Structure 1
Amino acid sequence: MIKKTSPKLGEKPSKRRWFILFLVCSITFINYLDRANLAVAAPFLSKEFLLNPVQMGLIFSALSWSYTLMQIPSGWFLDRIGSKIVYGIALCGWSVFTMIMGITYNLTSTIFCRLGLGVFESPAFPANTRIVTTWFPSKERGLAIGAYTGSEYIGLALCTPILTWLLVTFGWRSIFIATGLLGITFSVIWFFCYNDPSKSKGVNKAEIDFIKEGGGLSDTIVEKKKVTWKEIKKLVFNRQLGGMYITAFANAAILFFFMTWFPSYLVNEKHMGILKVGIYGSLPYFAAIAGVIVAGKWSDWMISKGYGLGVSRKLPVILGLILSSVMIGSNYTNNVNIIITFMCIAFFGQGMASAISWALLSEIAPKELLGLSCGTYNFIANLGGALSPTIVGYLIARTGSYASALVFVSSMGIIGALSYIFIIGKPTRIIISD
């Protein structure tokens, strides 16, 4: 460990944490590019492989099943090994599976690749939260978490028109090869550039003190912590976390509808051409970016004004989830512009909820089990992501339309909001002690 020298009189904190945030945002952008590329390719992949809606639902959800099952193990690895090694290996691994998607030839091989993608992507968001909580004081954390959460929507927003162009120009397989190569390249950059604060170049003692005094964990995270079943039980059955688990499940169900079925909804239900989908389909993602930014700044502003965690972190989530249920209005119109407006409002709200949910988790999770806490939270959340595409596919196959699917997705927003209102209570840091 590199020992930082005492700060000089009047020395200003360095800005290394903002470069670290840039790295995290870039990887999150790639992460969601590699998740959502299938949604763009789906109409053509399903036609080539002769797949029905139920089979496509299985493909869409395959990533989420392996991703979900690996959440708790990945959180354990993060606490024991550390963010640099785990995140770097994960990025390289999921990028390789993304490239292999470009040479799949049937239902089985496609599901295999999506399962592998889910395994290696599983440490991503627990690592993001762990890194931001390590590097940022509380008053900057909402903005930092909002930044990397916004990056996932930037990936989705840019993914639709750019990947649509690749599809039309070079075929659907080129989408996976291009995005996989991008991730492999960035994994090299990560290994060269990232370290925790106490080991990082370019950070001075004044910045480390600034992080610690503001409630950041800096170098206080123990990376070789033994975890007991009693501690795991406390994480699973804690009331605050229980309320967050329900809301995370609901919010992920909404997100994964947009990440999987949304382009197909525009093509098959609203009969849009694929190039038009590339333009219209990206608009809700830009709305989600705005939601992330608004929620992050609003929440941090309330913290700075002394409103407390309960109001500052919970109110944007509740409002966002209520807004997400507005998509149900799409069932009552065939006007494309009105439909996209409903979807933009819904995804704006989903972006608000996603950004601040992670911020609240960073405030209440036990310091010594941060990686495991995030992994457990993400495990429950992604059950929603795993089930949502399958349920939507079943509803489409059963009814022949997307109307009942939109009812299901909209109801998730209401359930999530009610959980934040009635279950979580007053947020406080959870203490794990025997």
Structure 2
Amino acid sequence: MSDSETEAAGRTAERAPARPRIPTRFLVLALIFVITVVNYADRSSLSITGSSLQADLGFSTVQLGYIFSAFSWAYVIAQLPGGMLLDLFGARRVYAFSLVLWTLVTLAVSFVGLITTPVLVAVTVIFVLRLLLGAFESPAFPANARVATAWFPTAERGRATAIFNSAQYFATALFAPIMGWITHEFGWRWVFVMLGVLGFALAALWLRWMDSPRNHPRVSPEEFEKIRSGGGIVDLDAPKGGGAAPVQERAPLNAATFRQIFAARALWGVYLSQYAVNALTYFFITWFPVYLVQGRGLSLLEVGFVAALPAVCGFGGGLLGGFLSDGMLRRGYSLTAARKVPSVVGMLLATSIGLCNLTDSSVLIVALMTLAFFGKGIGALGWAITTDIAPPQASSFVAATMNAFGNAAGIVTPIVIGYTVQATGSFTVALWFVAAHGLLALVGFAVMGPIKRITFDAA
């Protein structure tokens, strides 16, 4: 090639547009989405393996209900210390430590009953392991909210929180058929082995790649400014020293702080609505597959695929709710309207689960369950609302408090359903109980009042 041709080629290369670069915040969101998918696969693994495990180890229906609820007992109790740890040490370190520990506990379930074990001992061991799983997973969703607060401007945060929140539906859609097939072909123990391998791989990836927006080497100055100027709290997890901006000031967790947090009407509305939303979630990730086996007579292999249908629509509804909310904001609607309108419409649709009691058609029942879960997905904007209203000085503590109240439903719902099914011999009362929570969520939205960020008075 001649010098003139080389020079021309160089000029052409200079004029050629650069390849579009995926913003780093979207890769961060993809990572927490994948981790949350595995997180929910871990906590819902017993819903698919429950019938097989129950038959293998000899559990009663009530014992299985208590085992289903064990996760939430510890998950709720550990929320507040988990949130405090996040505010003290940041999401990167706490999330990594949490992920390793919950993966170890998940893997340990595969060893229960390998040697002949009395039923009561097996129940106790699995109950304790599920308690530990709940404790170790407790920082996960507050950490997701903290990452979204730091990495996303306000106008994108509804979509961001909807995406990581929709991972719970995607987890069921993806893993229910896989876990059903593995249980059918190889036995329930291998489900927990698979989840253990995935968890350790994700922990290594998180530690190697994750950082704060200010310090992440992949973040361009333009992206950083877009996040910062749009309301992202970019220094929420910035380390002290090293020339970086100071760490976000944290409120002292004293009596005055607690009074201000728990006196906020908006937060009590969030607590109540999140409890109601999670009641539907816990029905689907605990008793729904058992209902299909015991109440509708489906095989375990069929259940894995049927259980995925509501989850797929829940995933779509979750994304739709977040995109609708952010779209309303861009069109000039108030933050209150943008968050509440999709929430109210979605939770009204969720009450359709009660209509399953009015038909014997399995096809229609699955269709109604799918509609209910789709509506629940649209209405599940609690995490977006929390990131909108939480004071930055105690953002993770407030998120953890919301998650604690919300996941109290994981204690109540599995136990109530276990007792009602054993007492009545059917799921009729249980389905009305779950449907009523769609209306309870509307009460929470009314209590919430206008959505705006809470500010602390000087202590």
TM-score normalised over the length of structure 1 = 0.95
Contact 2:172/2:307 (<8 A) preserved: no
Is it true that 1:358 corresponds to 2:374 in the alignment?
Answer: no
Structure number with greater Rg is 2
Which amino acid is 1:32 matched to?
Answer: Y
Determine helix, strand or coil for the equivalent of 1:202: coil
Q: Is the 8 A contact 1:24 1:128 kept in 2?
A: yes
Match of 2:139 in 1: 123
Q: What code does the residue aligned with 2:426 have?
A: S
8 Å contact kept, 1:78–1:223: no
- Alpha-carbon distance in structure 1 between the residues aligned to 2:231 and 2:72: 33
Deviation at 1:280, TM superposition (A): 1.2
Letter aligned with residue 30 of structure 1: V
- How far does the alpha carbon of each residue in 1:121-160 deviate from its partner, in whole angstroms, 9 at most, with x for none? 0000000000011000011111111111122211111111
- Figure out how many residues of one structure are paired with residues of the other and give that number: 422
- The AA in structure 1 aligned to 2:378 is M
| Cα pair 2:235 2:248 within 8 Å, conserved | no
CA spacing shift, 1:32–1:198, aligned 2, 3 Å? same
- Check if 1:152 corresponds to 2:168: yes
Q: Matches of 1:63 and 1:357 in 2, distance apart?
A: 21
- Asked if 1:348 is matched to 2:364, the reply is no
Whether the 8 Å contact between 2:153 and 2:226 is mirrored in structure 1 is: yes
Check conservation: 1:14, 1:206, Cα contact below 8 A.
no
Q: 2:436 aligns with which of 411, 429, 433?
A: 411
Contact 1:236 1:376 in 2 (8 A): no
Tell me the distance in 2 between the aligned counterparts of 1:239 and 1:165.
Answer: 47
Deviation track 1:315-356 (CA, whole Å, cap 9, x = no partner) reads 1111111111101111111111100010001101111122x2
Identity of aligned residues (%): 34
Conserved? CA contact 2:152–2:232, under 8 Å: yes
2:41 equivalent in structure 1 = 33
Instruction: Tell me the distance in 2 between the aligned counterparts of 1:43 and 1:200.
Output: 46
Aligned mates of 2:442, 2:249 — CA distance in 1:
37
CA deviation profile, 1:8-39 (whole Å, cap 9, x unmatched): xxx99971111111111111011001011110
Partner of 1:400: 425
Deviation at 1:185, TM superposition (A): 1.2
Write the distance in 1 (CA, Å) between the matches of 2:379 and 2:438. 10
Structural mapping, 1:231-246, within 5 Å: 231-246=257-272
Contact (CA 8 Å) 1:135, 1:217: kept in 2 or not? yes
1:423 is matched by which residue type in structure 2? V
Instruction: Decide whether aligned partners of structure 1 residues 214 and 223 sit closer, same or farther in structure 2, where only a CA change above 3 A counts.
Output: closer
How far 1:224 sits from its partner (Å)? 7.3
Conservation of the 8 A alpha-carbon contact between 1:79 and 1:224? no
**Map of 1:113 onto structure 2:** 129
3-state SS in 2 of match to 1:103: coil
13-22 or 300-309: bigger deviation: 13-22
One-letter amino acid of the structure 2 residue matched with residue 239 of structure 1: R
CA deviations 1:192-215 (Å, max 9, x no partner) are 000111221111222121111111
**Residue number in structure 2 paired with 1:7:** none
For residues 88-103 of structure 1, the aligned pairs below 5 Å read 88-103=96-111
Cα RMSD for the two superposed structures: 1.5
Residue identity in the other structure for 1:109: V
Structure 1 alignment gaps of length 5 or more: 1-10
Structure 2: distance between partners of 1:237 and 1:384: 22
Q: Name the residue aligned to 1:372.
A: 397
